[in-house]
Amino acid sequence: MTPYHILFVDLESDTSQEDNCRQLFRLINSAFSESEVSSETIAFYPPWPVNAPPDLIFVRPSMKIPLLDITHHLKKHWNQALIYGFFCAKNYDATEIFQSLASGMDDFFLCTITQEEFLLRVQRLIHWTTQTAPTSPLETAKKIFNHKQLIGKSPCFLNAIEKIPHLALSDAPVLVLGETGTGKELFTRAIHYNSQRHGRPFIPVNCGALPDQLFESEVFGHVKGAFTDASSEKKGLIAEAEGGTIFLDEVDTLSPSAQIKLLRFIQEFEYRPLGSSKSKVANVRLIAATNADLREKVKAKMFRDDLYYRLNILKLHIPPLRERMEDIPLMADFFLEHYALQYRRIKPRISPSAIQKLLTYSWPGNVRELEGIIQQSMVLCHSPVLQPDNINLSLSVQKDDLGNHTFQGAKKQIVVQFERSYLIDLLAKQEGNITKAAKVAGLDRRAFQRLIKKYGIERNMFSVRTTS
User: 71-85, 100-114, 249-263: which has the minimum mean pLDDT?
Assistant: 100-114
Which helix (DSSP H) or strand (DSSP E) does residue 339 occupy?
A: helix 328-342
Q: 41-73: per-residue pLDDT in tens?
A: 776 555 555 666 788 888 887 777 777 777 777
| pLDDT above 90 (res 116) | no
The letter for the amino acid at 212 is: D
Q: Rounded to the nearest 5 degrees, what angle is found at the Cα of 329, between the Cα atoms of 387 and 142?
A: 160
In eight-state DSSP terms, residue 30 is H
Distances (CA, A) of 155 to 52, 57, 311, 458: 40, 37, 26, 10
CB atoms inside a 10 Å sphere around CB 379 = 11
Distance CA 130, CA 4 (A): 8
**412: DSSP letter:** H
In whole angstroms, give the CA distance from residue 168 to residue 398. Answer: 36
Domains in the chain, ordered, with CATH? Answer: 4-129 (3.40.50.2300), 137-317 (3.40.50.300), 322-463 (1.10.8.60)
CB atoms within 10 A of CB 15: 10
101 forms beta bridges with none
The Cα–Cα gap between 234 and 201 comes to 18
The SS3 assignment for 1 reads coil
Predicted confidence band of residue 308 (pLDDT cuts 50, 70, 90): very high
Q: What is the pLDDT of residue 456?
A: 67
Average pLDDT, the chain: 78
Taking 90 as the threshold, does the pLDDT of residue 467 lie above it?
no
- Confidence band (pLDDT; 50, 70, 90) for 468? very low
Maximum Cα–Cα distance across the chain? 79
> Using alpha carbons only, how large is the chain's radius of gyration in Å?
25
- Please say if the pLDDT value at position 359 is more than 80: yes
Burial (CB < 10 A; 0-12, 13-18, 19+), residue 298, is middle
Out of 95-109, 343-357, 396-410, pick the least confident. 396-410
Which residues are CB-neighbours of 339 under 8 A, at least 6 positions away? 374, 375, 378
**What is the structure's pLDDT at 400?**
44
For residue 445, the number of C-alpha atoms closer than 13 Å in the C-beta half-sphere is 5
Give the mean pLDDT of 91-99: 70
Q: Which residues pair with 37 in a beta bridge?
A: 4
pLDDT band at 409 (very low <50, low <70, confident <90, very high): low
Integer Cα distance of 201 and 75 in angstroms:
27
Preceding peptide of 173 cis, ω within 30°: no
Residue 152 has pLDDT above 80, yes or no: yes
Spatial distance between the Cα atoms of 220 and 236, rounded to a whole number of angstroms: 4
The rounded percent of the chain whose pLDDT value lies above 90 is 18
Of 56, 107, 46, 64, the closest CA to residue 82 belongs to 56
Parallel, antiparallel or unpaired: strands 270-271 and 280-281: antiparallel
Per-residue pLDDT reduced to its tens digit, 274-296? 777 788 888 999 999 999 999 99
Q: Give percent of the chain above pLDDT 70.
A: 75
Please state the rounded mean pLDDT for residues 328-333: 90
Distance between CA atoms of residues 339 and 18, nearest Å: 23
Confidence class for position 133, pLDDT limits 50, 70, 90: very low
pLDDT digits (tens, 9 = 90+) for 433-465: 888 888 888 888 888 888 887 776 766 656 544
Q: Could you give the 3-state DSSP secondary structure of residue 202?
A: strand
